[in-house]
Amino acid sequence: MHSSEDNARPTSAFPIVPAEVMTQLPTQFFATLVQKVNREIAAGHDVINLGQGNPDTPTPGHIVSALQEAAANPLYHKYSPFTGFAFLKEAIAKRYLEDYGVELDPEKEVAILFGGKTGLVQLPQILLNPGDLCLVPDPGYPDYWSGVALAKAEMSFMPLLADNAFLPDYGRISPADRARAKLMFLNYPNNPTSAVAPLSFYEDTVRFARENGIVVASDFAYGAIGFDGERPVSFLQAPGAKEVGIEFYTLSKTYNMAGWRVGFALGNRDVISLINNLQDHIYVSLFGGIQAAAAAALTSSQECVQELVQRYESRRNAFFDGLGRIGWTAEKPGGSFFSWLPVPNGFTSESFADLLLKDAKVAVAPGIGFGRHGEGYVRVGLLTSEERLQEAAERIGRLNLFV
């Protein structure tokens, strides 16, 4: 029998020892940034937060209405099919055909995900054994590291440098890493650098992957967001892409549905089958009402997407006009809703971000949080109004750092 004293004893008297893999997960760098911003706000300061990656406008009304209607359908109150409803997979296949000219078999080349992040973290666990090697962009989205850590695999970082348009240089990857690597992550339009990739790069990628037996994972989260009349290129548009890899797509950015957690893996049918197999052991697919609303987003008028892209482009232009007035020179982003800006001489990315928060009450994300080659830059999110973006530039200008 247990006494009340047993129930009340400190938890430290019964130590919970985590699995070794939990101690190897990367530190959530941006949790510290959030804490710093929240402290400034709690102190009563007006902070312009450009350090986040969370869309700032609501999901379009017709998608919300589709969910409201679908939520009342008793069909969706039951378990969904394990791999999702066919109508949603058909909707994503239709969207890819219309937008990119890519044909997909809805049943064999599309997997429904609980948000794109879930698939990105699952994929290394599906393909990598302990000690296997994964090629990862640097700078890059930190959750790539998380999936590799959970697989107890290893990483080799591919530098993304300005002199190569923030694309990896496959010629710089050592023969030893080429021989060991089984998986490679790519992400264009890129977070954090905002670079976009041409079709020729993906054609080179297919050749490189085929020659070295490496599965390609293209993270296309910002695939709808391209500027100056240019639509970002999908990896799957490259001939032979489906033979060597898959692409991850999400509704989070395209339709401001970040909280809805709807994503897809698309392409190589063997990899898609493995993803579905793992998910069969973990999930029973998304709530059917959300699947119905997601299908409505994909198959109805795409005017809301066009308006969203125009909004981000207008914000980009307003912000860079402000940067020009204060003398902060940087490359305009070609896609995504981020800008990648060099820090002034004498600062690290973190010390510069701290200064902007302390003295200008402007929050930006230090580049070092995205990898070693992110040092020297800060990431700015175009996720507030044109007026606030211009005000942010003015506040920074008053620090006289770019004179």
CATH of the domain at 234: 3.40.640.10
Q: 158 and 270 share a domain?
A: yes
In a domain, 203, yes or no: yes
Look at residue 403 and tell me if it is in a domain. no
Distance CA 61, CA 166 (A): 37
What CATH number does the domain containing 22 carry? Answer: 3.90.1150.10
Distances in Å between the Cα of 28 and the Cα atoms of 24, 141, 142, 259 are 12, 11, 8, 20
Q: Indicate the pTM of the whole model.
A: 0.92
- What amino acid occupies position 307? E
Q: Which of 299, 320, 353 is the last residue of a domain?
A: 299
Q: Answer yes or no: is 3 within a domain.
A: no
d(CA 87, CA 70): 13
Q: What is the pLDDT of residue 241?
A: 98
Kindly list the distances between the CA atom of residue 51 and the CA atoms of 222, 262, 328, 382, in Å, as whole numbers in the listed order.
17, 23, 18, 9
In this structure, the answer to whether residues 288 and 369 fall within a common structural domain is no
Kindly give the pairing relationship between strand 362-363 and strand 338-342. unpaired
> Does residue 2 lie in a domain region?
no
**Domain co-membership, 193 together with 320:** no
- Has residue 172 been placed in a domain? yes
Report the alpha-carbon distance of residue 159 to residue 308 in Å, rounded.
31
Q: Determine the Cα angle at 235 with ends 233 and 241, to 5°.
A: 145
Is residue 226 in some structural domain? yes
The reported pLDDT for the residue numbered 5 is 44
Boundaries of domain holding 197:
67-299
Same domain, 222 and 345: no
In a shared domain, residues 24 and 167: no
Residue 42 resides in a domain = yes
Same domain, 310 and 287: no
Give the model's pLDDT for residue 7: 47
How many whole angstroms separate alpha carbon 312 and alpha carbon 379? 15
Instruction: Give, for 113, the enclosing helix (H) or strand (E).
Output: strand 110-113
Looking at the domain assignment, is residue 212 inside a domain? yes
pLDDT of 2: 47
In this structure, the number of other CB atoms found within 10 A of the CB of residue 402 comes to 12
Cβ pair 338, 53 in contact under 8 A: yes
Shared-domain flag, residues 48 and 115: no
Same domain for 24 and 87, yes or no, is no
Query: 211 and 261 share a domain?
Result: yes
How far apart CA 394 and CA 23 sit, in angstroms, is 43
Domain boundary among 278, 299, 320: 299
Say yes or no: 73 and 54 in one domain. no
pLDDT at residue 11, as a whole number: 59
In a shared domain, residues 133 and 214: yes
Exposed/middle/buried for 339, CB within 10 Å: 0-12, 13-18, 19+?
Answer: buried
Residue with tokens 């990648």: 340
3-state secondary structure (DSSP) of residue 397: helix
If one counts the domains in the chain, the total is 2
Tokens representing residue 66 in the block: 């589709």
- Residue 6 has a pLDDT of 47
Do 304 and 347 meet the contact criterion of CB atoms below 8 Å apart? no
Per-residue pLDDT of the chain (403 residues; tens, 9 = 90+): 444 444 445 556 788 888 988 888 887 777 888 899 999 999 999 999 999 888 889 999 999 999 999 999 999 999 999 999 999 999 999 999 999 999 999 999 999 999 999 999 999 999 999 999 999 999 999 899 999 999 999 999 999 999 999 999 999 999 999 999 999 999 999 999 999 999 999 999 999 999 999 999 999 999 999 999 999 999 999 999 999 999 999 999 999 999 999 999 999 999 999 999 999 999 888 999 999 999 999 999 999 999 999 999 999 999 999 999 999 999 999 999 999 999 999 999 999 999 999 999 999 999 999 999 999 999 999 999 999 999 999 999 999 999 7
- Final residue in a domain of this structure, among 277, 299, 321: 299
Nearest to 288 by CA among 262, 264, 323: 262
Q: Which two tokens stand for residue 123?
A: 């994929």
221, 248 Cβ separation under 8 angstroms: yes
Tell me, what's the pLDDT at 15?
87
Q: Do 254 and 335 reside in the same domain of the chain?
A: no
